[in-house]
Amino acid sequence: MAQITDRRLGSPQGVASEHESKAAEVLATVAGVLATEDPKDAVDSIEFAVLVGAKAYAQAGRSCYGGGVNVSRLALQTVGRVPAGVSREEFSVAVAQAARALGYDWAADDNRRVIPTIPAPRPGQGRAAR
C-alpha cells in the first residue's frame, strides 16, 4: 500500500542544487571578468545583468533550453543590487562572495591543468611506423 510520503513515479525532482552550482560558476566567471577587464570603470545594474546573462547562456551551451534563465535569475538574486558608482574591481569582491555563498569551490581551480596538452602521435604510430 502506498504511503503519503512515498515519491510518485514520474514526478519531477528538484533541480535547485544544480541551479545553485551553475549560478556559482557563473558568478565566479563574472567576478573574474569584472576584476580583469577595465577594473577601474564603474559598473551599473544593466551591465551586470547583461554580463551574468551572457555567461549563463554560454554555460548552457549557447542554447535557450539549457536552463540559463533560471541560473541567471538565481545569480542576480543572490548578488542583489549594484551600488551606484561602484568600480568593477570593488564589485567583483561582492560577486565572488556571492559565488562562495552558493558553494563555489575556489580551491578546485588550483587543480586544473595549467599547460594544455597538444595531441601528438604515440610512438609506433603514424607514417614512420609503417
Dihedral angle sign, alpha carbons of residues 101, 65, 47, 109: positive
**Residue 101: inside a domain, yes or no?**
yes
**Residue 8: inside a domain, yes or no?**
no
85-98: pLDDT as tens digits: 999 999 999 999 99
**Residue 29: inside a domain, yes or no?**
yes
Domain encompassing residue 27: 17-105
42-85: pLDDT as tens digits: 999 999 999 999 999 998 888 888 888 999 999 999 999 999 99
Domain count, the chain: 1
**Residue 4: inside a domain, yes or no?**
no
The residues, any chain, with a CB within 8 Å of residue 126's CB and separated by 6 or more, are none
**Residue 52: inside a domain, yes or no?**
yes
